[in-house]
């Protein structure tokens, strides 16, 4: 046999072997993950779309071994790393693991998928209303209950705990350990900043998720989050999930391997920056280009903007939210960067959640200071001129916040606040506005007031006794000032971390001034609880001038009067002035001191500078 003939035969054998290996590779496939990781029988959302992760997922057949679970459709993608499966889950399914059988002509993989019965607990999914007071916890800066989880081996964080933007170690166990403190303070709900995995260069804030079904290990675990909700409920405290549909973190696995070419609005190499024009979508003269920049632009180059027009992603995000609600038993949602989402998706998302959990409340963050614009995002809006409703029950009232912050800075009088609330006619439900003095993105109230405790007290009364659902930023109760930068205003709570010199969670560990504001706020919260008229009564307000602001609240046969002197001088108030607005009133009982004022006398009430007095009104029988 000649050398050339031998070479030819060897080449043919080599081609055959390579071809066989390629065919074998094409015939084999793998599955690494299925999301959602489990589901529940008895949900109204009974047609589930499973997202399957793996390799070579083309031309795959899928069925459940249990015939009560029907595979309705299999969606193969050009990217064979993913597969979507539409599944119908019958109500009579028992708690168990159910076998999914994936197969092609050559291979078969069996995957155990857990299904359980939907719970119908009376202490879950309660919603939140204007009877509640929400306490906003910035998770990393509140309390470190487990220092051993402060670092992870594969962390990409570029900051240390000594940096303003570094992690300090606050976690879920820390929050659980302070539920008694929160109950004693008098709050009824907690909103915790996002706890999902953020394996990013700057991770402490939580708003750039790299896994939408996993709590960051530095905060704890999924089981610990569920425990937090259960323990909070036992303390009579509701839990609000801080949720983000608009974007994820750049280190999410989707970024390097997107399921579809239009999974994101643009790419990390080619994207448009967000144009922060929240008016454009509602503007009857608005330009579609501006709306496109607003809803499709990226906040930063490390927060890819999700394209919610993609049907698979749309379903994924809705199911992800439903999963966290049912899994953890939470009571409400705060939706981050609400106007930046595709608004048809956002309306569908809210509708799906409220269809499943009608008592739940959802508040969308609308960072805009104009009441007319804010109102356009609330459901049943009277000013919205679009062909679909937002379905969003509650919105953040930045106009309320701006007015109080102008007062705290000394830029405007209390009249600006009065004028802001006088525009409540634009809202479909002013009582379902979420109101606040400050939050994790803007300077603290005490920082703006430059240490003026009198002004802070005035602001707290306006927050708690006008209308809406009040939010108290962690540390406000002890007068934390913070600073201008995010890392400064998100100051660690004294006593929540190893090495702290004092513990401000206790009266002994607080300074005299801190105890003053803590005790003052605690008393206000107790009044709000003891007298429901102060939270849910119908409001009427009057601005007679001279830095004086009068608020009445009426609920059934009970009336209260709140007198606010926002100025820096004492103000005299005569019974005759009050009877102009309360003609049936005979007596005022001070709810702080229990002293009474007879309105049929000429006795002048002197309202001290930057102070508030709250009265129960006794009318003519």
Cβ 567 vs Cβ 609: under 8 Å: yes
The one catalytic residue in 216, 305, 365, 438 is 365
Which single residue is written with the structure tokens 């309105």? Answer: 599
Distance separating alpha carbons of residues 273 and 360, to the nearest angstrom:
34
Residue 387 and residue 293 in contact, taking contact as beta carbons nearer than 8 Å: no
**How many Cα atoms are found within 13 Å in the side-chain-facing hemisphere of 144?**
19
Is the Cβ–Cβ distance between 473 and 136 less than 8 Å? yes
φ, ψ at 536 (rounded to 5°): -115, 10
Q: How far apart are the first and last CA of the chain?
A: 124
Sign of CA dihedral 165, 229, 365, 260: positive
290 vs 311: CA distance, rounded Å:
24
Distance CA 224, CA 360 (A): 22
Q: Which of 478, 466, 372 is nearest to 428 (CA)?
A: 372
Q: Residue 523 corresponds to which tokens in the numbers above?
A: 């008393």
Which residue bears the tokens 């055959």?
A: 16
Cα separation, 345 vs 358, whole angstroms: 19
And the tokens for 481?
A: 């000032």
Active site residue 336: yes
3-state secondary structure (DSSP) of residue 83:
strand
Give me 187's structure tokens.
């709050």
Tokens of 35: 């999301």
Taking a C-beta distance cutoff of 8 angstroms, is the pair 402, 413 a contact? no
**Residue 484 CA: distances (Å) to CA of 165, 294, 397, 439, 559:** 13, 26, 22, 12, 41
* C-alpha to C-alpha distance for 303 and 326, rounded to whole angstroms: 27
Active site residue: 171, 216, 335, 336, which one? 336
CA distance 103 to 65: 13
Picking from 388, 387, 389, the residue whose alpha carbon sits closest to that of residue 378 is 389
Angle at 294 between CA 293 and CA 297, to 5 degrees: 60
Q: Is 365 a catalytic residue?
A: yes
Q: Which residues are catalytic?
A: 336, 365
């Amino acid at each position: 046999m000649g050398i050339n003939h031998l070479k030819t035969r060897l080449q043919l054998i080599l081609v055959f072997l390579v071809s066989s290996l390629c065919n074998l590779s094409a015939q084999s496939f793998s599955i690494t993950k299925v999301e959602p990781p489990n589901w529940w029988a008895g949900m109204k959302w009974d047609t589930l779309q499973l997202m399957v992760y793996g390799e070579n997922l083309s031309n795959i057949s899928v069925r459940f071994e249990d015939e009560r679970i029907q595979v309705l459709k299999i969606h193969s993608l050009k990217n064979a790393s993913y597969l979507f499966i539409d599944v119908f889950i019958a109500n009579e399914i028992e708690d168990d693991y159910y076998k999914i059988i994936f197969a092609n002509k050559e291979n078969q993989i069996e995957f155990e998928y857990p299904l359980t019965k939907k719970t119908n607990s009376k202490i879950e999914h309660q919603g939140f209303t204007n009877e509640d007071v929400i306490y906003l916890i910035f998770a990393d800066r509140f309390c470190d209950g487990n220092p051993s989880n402060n670092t992870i081996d594969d962390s990409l964080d570029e900051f240390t705990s000594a940096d303003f933007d570094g992690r300090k170690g606050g976690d879920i166990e820390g929050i659980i350990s302070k539920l008694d403190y929160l109950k004693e303070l008098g709050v009824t709900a907690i909103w915790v900043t996002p706890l999902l995995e953020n394996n990013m260069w700057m991770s402490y804030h939580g708003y750039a998720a790299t896994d939408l079904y996993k709590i960051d290990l530095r905060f704890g675990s999924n089981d610990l989050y569920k425990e937090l909700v259960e323990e909070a409920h036992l303390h009579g405290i509701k839990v609000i999930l801080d949720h983000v549909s608009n974007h994820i973190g750049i280190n999410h696995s989707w970024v390097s391997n997107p399921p579809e070419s239009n999974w994101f609005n643009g790419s990390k190499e080619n994207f448009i920056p967000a144009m922060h024009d929240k008016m454009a979508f509602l503007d009857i003269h608005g330009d579609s280009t501006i709306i496109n920049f607003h809803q499709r632009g990226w906040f930063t180059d490390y927060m890819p903007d999700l394209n919610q027009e993609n049907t698979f992603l749309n379903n994924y995000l809705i199911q992800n939210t439903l999963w966290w609600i049912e899994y953890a038993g939470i009571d409400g949602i705060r939706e981050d960067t609400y106007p930046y989402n595709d608004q048809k998706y956002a309306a569908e998302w809210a509708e799906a959640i409220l269809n499943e959990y009608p008592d739940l409340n959802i508040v969308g963050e609308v960072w805009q200071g104009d009441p007319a614009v804010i109102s356009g995002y609330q459901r049943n809006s009277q000013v919205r001129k679009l062909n679909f409703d937002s379905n969003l029950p509650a919105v953040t009232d930045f106009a309320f916040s701006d007015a109080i912050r102008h007062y705290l800075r000394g830029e405007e009088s209390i009249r600006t606040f009065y004028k802001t609330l006088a525009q409540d006619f634009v809202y479909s439900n002013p009582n379902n506005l979420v109101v606040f003095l400050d939050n994790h993105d803007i300077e603290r109230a005490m920082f703006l007031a430059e240490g003026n405790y009198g002004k802070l007290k005035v602001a707290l009364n306006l927050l708690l006794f006008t209308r809406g659902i009040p939010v108290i930023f962690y540390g406000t109760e002890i007068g934390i000032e913070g600073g201008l930068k995010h890392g400064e205003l998100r100051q660690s709570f004294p006593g929540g971390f190893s090495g702290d010199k004092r513990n401000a969670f206790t009266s002994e560990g607080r300074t005299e001034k801190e105890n003053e504001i803590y005790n003052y706020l605690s008393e206000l919260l107790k009044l709000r609880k003891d007298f429901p008229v102060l939270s849910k009564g119908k409001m009427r307000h009057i601005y007679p001038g001279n830095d004086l602001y009068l608020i009445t609240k009426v609920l059934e046969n009970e009336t209260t009067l709140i007198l606010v002197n926002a100025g820096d001088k004492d103000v005299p108030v005569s019974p005759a002035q009050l009877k102009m607005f309360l003609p049936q009133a005979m007596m005022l009982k001070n709810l702080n001191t229990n002293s009474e004022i007879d309105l049929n006398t000429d006795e002048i009430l002197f309202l001290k500078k930057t102070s508030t007095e709250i009265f129960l009104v006794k009318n003519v029988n």
